[in-house]
Structure formats: C-alpha cells, structure tokens
C-alpha cells in the first residue's frame, strides 16, 4: 500500500479496482457454471436443421410434448445464450401431431447468418430455454467450386515475397500457408479522413478516394487499403499460378498495434492483455463481431472467385497456437471453457462466411505440440480444447472443422527427435512430437471425433521443423536425419494430409533457432545456402528417397525404417 501511495494511487481508487475485479471474477464464474450446465443438459425440444440459401433460412425442429407460448428465438453469436432474457427476433411456433415444425425466414434486411436458433417458452419474467441454440448446418454457396486437394503431402510455411520461389518447383511443393493479419488492410474510413476518428458509414457514403476500396457488410461500409491488399495478393497469385493449396493463417493484432486504431479497437477482444503477440477477435459485442466478420467476408468473397483473378484461399487456420493463447491469441485470463467459447465463435464465424463462397473451405484449430498437460498457468492443454470443441459441435450443430497441429520436437533446439523423453503412446501423453505422431493419428480416428459421426476430420501439420544448432557438419546431419525420421511417420499415417515444413529459411527473429531448409540470408559464408535437409526434403516422396535418407539410419540407430513406427495400441 505504501508503494501505491508514493506512486500517487489514491486508496479509494485501489478499493474500486479491487471491487471491480472481484465482480468480474464472480460474473465469469457464474457464466462458466451456466455454460457448463448448458453443454451437459438434456432439452425437451430441438432444432434439428438450419439451411441457408441466398434469400432465406429454413429452420426445422421438434417441440416434443411441450406446450404454452413457444417461440423460435434468434440468438446472435455475440450474445451468451445462457444469460439472454430478450431476443432480437421471436416467431411463434406450432408443431404438427408429432411436434415437428418448419419455419422460413428472410435473410434481409439484416442477415442473421451468424446467429443461432433456439426454442424458448414465454414465462412471467422473460423466456425459458427449451432447446440448445443451433447454428446453420448447410449454406448454399455463391459458386459451385470444385474441391481441390494437394497432390502430395509436401508443403511449406509462410509464403511471401522475397522467398526463393524456385524452391516451390524444385521441392515439388503442393501447398503453402500464408499469414494474413486482418489489421493490415481493414479501415473504417476513406483515405481523406483520419482512420482513428471516423467509424464506418452507411452504404450510401460517397466513393472512397484512390487508395482505399469501399465494400459493404451487414449494412455498413468498410474500406480495404489497396496497397495492403496488393501486398497480400502477391503470394496468393504466386500460389494460384502453381496450383498450390493455400491455407490462410488469420491473425488479429492487439488494438494498439493496428494501422487503423478504430478498427483495431472494434475487432480485438477488449479483455486481451497487451503481453499477447496477437489478440482473440472481439466476438463478444455486435460491433466487434461486425468488424471481424466484415474482414472475413472481404477475404472469402475475393479469394474464392472461380476465375482466381486475385488468387485463392482454400482453407482458414484460425489464429495461431490457441492452446498457448496468452502468447498468440490473447483474450485475457480465462478458464479453458470460457476461452474456447470465444474461439469456437471465431471458428464458426469463419466457417459460415467462407462456406457462402466455397463449399469445400475448412476452418482449422491451431495447436502446439503440448497435448494433455502444460506447465504454464496461462496455457491450456490442446486435448482439453479439442474435447470442448467437440462438445460445442455436438450441442450447437456440428461443422466441418479440422486440426492444424505443430508437432515440434520436445526441445525445439534438439533435432534428434527420436530421443524425446517426455512423450508416450497414450492419449494422456504430455506432448505430441514427431516421435509419437501415432497418438494424434489414433485420436482423429476415434468415431466420437468424426464430423457428423461419419467423416474423419482433416489433419494438417502446419508449422514445424528441425533445428540445426549451428552450421557444423554434425548439426546439419542431425537436422536432416530428423526430417527423414519424421517423414517415415508422416508418410505412413494416412490421417495426415499435409506437412508444411517451417521454416523455409533460417530467421534471426526466431530466438536463435536455425530450423530452415536454407541458411540465413545474411550468412557471411553461404547466404541462403541450401542445407542438407533441403536435399532430403527434395527427395522425399520420389524414387530417390531411400538413397537420400539412408545416411540417417545409423544416426538414428536403426537398420530398417519400419523400426521407427509404433506398432502397439494407443491407450
């Protein structure tokens, strides 16, 4: 207290801050209890399906044996369904003899695509929830695009201008990731106004001066910075020319790190702690969700065009390593359930918006190599988040989400991943690295994890590599051996569709790691030099693979490659 007084903090202000913090904690605990009950409860009524076409939403369900003043209620995504007492839209419900009903709603003037639908009953002080809230199941797309699949499992991470692009052909790359920070191009005002002093206007606003292109979403006009969009499109066009599958890694800067402070303030979650590199999008308010959804809609519409005029985004990796959310997708100090509630809404918004244009687009949850436990109090076990995501999918309508896993070695600096000690072959393993990838394969092959109980979810390894502690012969050999070892696992497991090697080029901003296929661009002896791991990657999946990887067997301590595969059951 003395220190606070010396620094000029009044005792009364401290008491107010303490009281506000306690009230916020109590509110979070109540919401958590209500949400947990919501996910576990059995309801007498059900929304069984919601279909969306260009003009209408058709909602069907069953009222069971319930009677009274029953209504179909709209539950906006940004609202907490367990706390809502009033609804923006109510439609009276009458079931047939079996309790079944079907109701058709117009999408205009305000599009309810990002809403859920529930059965409620009017009571003396509001409404009683009689069903779980249900999102749209099927969205009729604007374009009937063909499904595009990678021609092999070899990908590269973080395509952008300045990379040695000839590698894409030389390494026979089939897919890439592209980082997209929404703040880079989103603006709330035309170029003639200060971006920090003007909010978005109506669709009747005057045309934007050259430099920002106006577009309308949900009745509001937003602006895309032309120069930022042009920079974004360079890697997308390169990928389209080479027929590569593109997965966009969607990121949101902290509010204070946004070129347009107003858009950043709207789109970044208000609870995000400034220590986080990126923020969770603000899916907890109407204006925040609109700002975020406008950016997603701009990207999905522009990069799903049949002619690929601007390039193509096939899939959407939602943020980065969300189990380490405090660092990479910060939403403040939250329980796993409250954090996943926000993240699920972000995933669901991207899914619904992307499927309006591309019927095959998938959203991915991004996870570190930590699995069943973590020593950081601010992080969440990846397995716990996946189980919660399955709960939300079961209760609010399943959707075709997928997994973007990062199975780095246990020690990111040690490429000898076969020596990892802190892993095992059970579903409770602390980590999933290259050594025990069979655990992840077994997890996605459980019927309980299947989309709609029938389809195995897609699994991509979207960011991982092996380190060469230095450029000595031994370090470079161990790095290349680590990749040869990992590939035997990846190639053997049919659940793994893609492997994006990261990093393409050694990067001095990665804390001393040298995980690239090539050396540092400013290396004094061999700038951008191809490391032995580059040549191993080139040979993988070809008739030269066995010869190129043979050196790794004595390094690993095996005679035949089958020895690296786990042959037992995953417990």
> Within 10 Å of residue 40's Cβ, how many Cβ atoms?
9
CB 217 within 8 A of CB 297: yes
Q: What CA–CA distance (Å, rounded) separates 535 from 551?
A: 12
Q: What CA–CA distance (Å, rounded) separates 383 from 374?
A: 11
pLDDT score, position 194: 44
Q: What domains lie within the chain, and their CATH numbers? A: 46-139 (2.60.40.10), 155-564 (3.20.20.80)
Quote the tokens at residue 281. 């999008």
Mean pLDDT, the chain, as a whole number?
A: 93
pLDDT score, position 20: 61
The one-character DSSP state at 421 is -
For the sheet with 100-106, list strands across it: 100-106, 56-62, 46-52, 138-139
Q: What is the pTM of this model?
A: 0.93
Torsion of CA 511, 515, 520, 524, to 10 degrees: 90
Q: What CA–CA distance (Å, rounded) separates 464 from 70?
A: 52
pLDDT score, position 200: 39
pLDDT score, position 540: 98
Q: What CA–CA distance (Å, rounded) separates 48 from 27?
A: 31
Half-sphere exposure of 513 (CA within 13 A, CB side): 23
Give Cβ neighbours of residue 485 (< 8 Å, ≥ 6 apart): 417, 418, 434, 552, 556, 564
pLDDT score, position 9: 47
DSSP H or E stretch at residue 441: helix 437-444
- Print pLDDT tens along the chain (571 aa): 333 333 344 555 545 456 566 767 889 999 999 999 999 999 999 999 999 999 999 999 999 999 999 999 999 999 999 999 899 999 999 999 999 999 999 998 878 999 999 999 999 888 999 999 999 999 999 999 999 999 999 999 999 988 999 999 999 999 999 999 999 999 999 987 444 434 433 333 444 456 999 999 999 999 999 999 999 999 999 999 999 999 999 999 999 989 999 999 999 999 999 999 999 999 999 999 999 999 999 999 999 999 999 999 999 999 999 999 999 999 999 999 999 999 999 999 999 999 999 999 999 999 999 999 998 999 999 999 999 999 999 999 999 999 999 999 999 999 999 999 999 999 999 999 999 999 999 999 999 999 999 999 999 999 999 999 999 999 999 999 999 999 999 999 999 999 999 999 999 999 999 999 999 999 999 999 999 999 999 999 999 999 999 999 999 999 999 999 999 999 8
pLDDT score, position 204: 37
CB 183 within 8 A of CB 258: yes
Q: What does the DSSP assignment read for 267-306?
A: HB-TT--TTSSBB-B--SSHHHHHHHHHHHHHHHHHTT-T
Express each pLDDT in 262-294 by its tens digit.
999 999 999 999 999 999 999 999 999 999 999
CB 253 within 8 A of CB 326: no
pLDDT score, position 1: 34
């Amino acid at each position: 207290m003395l220190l606070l007084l010396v620094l000029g903090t009044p005792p009364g202000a401290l008491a107010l801050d303490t009281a506000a913090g306690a009230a916020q904690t109590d509110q979070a605990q109540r919401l958590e209890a209500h949400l947990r009950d919501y996910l576990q409860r059995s309801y007498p009524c059900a929304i069984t399906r919601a279909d969306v076409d260009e003009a209408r939403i058709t909602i069907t369900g069953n009222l069971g044996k319930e009677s009274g003043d029953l209504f179909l209620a709209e539950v906006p995504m940004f609202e907490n369904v367990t706390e809502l007492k009033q609804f923006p839209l109510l439609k009276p419900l009458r079931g047939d003899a079996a309790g079944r009903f079907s109701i058709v709603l117009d999408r205009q003037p305000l599009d309810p695509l990002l809403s859920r639908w529930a059965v409620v009953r009017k009571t003396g002080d509001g409404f009683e929830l009689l069903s779980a809230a249900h999102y749209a199941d099927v969205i009729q797309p604007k374009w009937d695009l063909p499904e595009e699949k990678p021609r092999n499992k070899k990908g590269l991470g973080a395509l952008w201008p300045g990379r040695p692009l000839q590698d894409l052909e030389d390494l026979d790359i089939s897919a890439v990731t592209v980082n997209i920070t929404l703040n880079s191009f989103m603006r709330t005002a035309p170029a003639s106004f200060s971006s920090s002093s003007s909010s978005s206007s109506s669709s009747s606003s005057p045309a934007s001066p050259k430099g920002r292109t106006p577009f309308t979403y949900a009745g509001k006009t937003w602006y895309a910075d032309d120069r930022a969009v042009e920079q974004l499109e360079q890697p997308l066009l390169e990928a389209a020319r080479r027929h590569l599958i593109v997965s966009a890694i969607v990121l949101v800067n902290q509010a204070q790190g946004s070129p347009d402070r107003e858009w950043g303030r709207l789109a970044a979650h208000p609870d995000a702690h400034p220590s986080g590199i990126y923020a969770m999008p603000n899916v907890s308010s109407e204006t925040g969700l609109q700002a975020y959804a406008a950016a997603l809609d701009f990207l999905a519409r522009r990069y799903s065009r049949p002619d690929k005029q601007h390039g193509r985004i096939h899939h959407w990796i939602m943020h980065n390593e969300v189990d380490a959310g405090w660092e990479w997708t910060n939403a403040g100090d939250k329980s796993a359930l409250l954090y996943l509630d926000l993240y699920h809404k972000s995933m669901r918004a991207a899914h619904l918006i992307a499927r309006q244009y591309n019927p095959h687009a998938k959203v991915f949850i991004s996870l570190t190599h930590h699995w069943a436990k973590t020593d950081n109090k601010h992080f969440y076990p990846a397995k716990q988040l996946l189980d919660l995501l399955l709960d939300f999918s079961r209760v609010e309508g399943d959707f075709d989400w997928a997994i973007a896993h990062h199975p780095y070695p246990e020690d990111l600096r040690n490429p000898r991943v076969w020596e990892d000690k802190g892993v095992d072959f059970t579903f409770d393993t602390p980590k999933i690295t290259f050594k025990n990838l069979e655990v992840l394969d077994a997890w996605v092959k459980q019927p309980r994890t299947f989309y709609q109980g029938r389809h195995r979810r897609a699994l991509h390894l979207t960011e991982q590599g092996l380190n060469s502690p230095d450029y000595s012969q031994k370090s470079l050999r161990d790095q290349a051996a680590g990749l040869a070892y990992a590939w035997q696992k990846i190639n053997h497991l049919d659940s793994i569709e893609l492997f994006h090697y990261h990093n393409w080029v050694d990067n001095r901003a990665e804390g001393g790691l040298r995980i690239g296929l090539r050396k540092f661009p400013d290396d004094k002896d061999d700038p951008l030099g191809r490391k032995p791991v580059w040549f191993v990657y080139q040979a993988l999946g070809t008739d030269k693979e066995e010869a190129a990887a043979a050196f790794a067997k004595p390094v690993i301590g095996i005679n035949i490659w089958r020895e690296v595969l786990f042959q037992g059951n995953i417990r």
